[in-house]
Amino acid sequence: MPTPDQQYDAAIKLKDQGDLEAAATALLAIVAEAPSHSLSHSALAVVMQKLGRADEAIAHAKKVVELEPNDPFSFAQLSVICQRCGRIAEAEDALAKNETMSARRRH
């Protein structure tokens, strides 16, 4: 049986080929089996946003933040996803957290 990383690679190929529905299905299967696979949640945030499924996109972006709370990119992605989904206040909050974390890393 393929590992979550191998399944992720296959799902990303589907996304890159433009088959967003198949990519979403594949990624959802990964997180069902491996709920802490942050790469799949990150990709799901993007795919769901592109499919117009804003609530699901934001939920997966928030899951990445939960799984990777010390990674400023998690907050940057959440900010972008929220912005693209029209949730500007949430986007600004996530961006502020990203900037705070980035500033701490520089010191």
Tell me which H or E stretch contains 73: helix 72-84
Q: Kindly report the pTM of this predicted structure.
A: 0.91
Span 46-82, pLDDT tens digits:
999 999 999 999 999 999 999 999 898 999 999 999 9
- Burial of residue 103 (number of CB atoms within 10 Å: 0-12, 13-18, 19+): exposed
Q: Do the beta carbons of residue 51 and residue 21 sit within 8 Å? A: yes
Question: Domain-by-domain residue ranges, the chain?
Answer: 4-106
Of 99 and 39, more confident: 39
pLDDT for position 106:
72
Question: How many CB atoms sit inside 10 A of residue 25's CB?
Answer: 13
Amino acid at residue number 94: A
For residue 9 the two structure tokens come to 């690679």
| Class of the domain covering 4-106 | mainly alpha
Residue 107 predicted with pLDDT over 70: no
Question: How many CB atoms sit inside 10 A of residue 34's CB?
Answer: 16
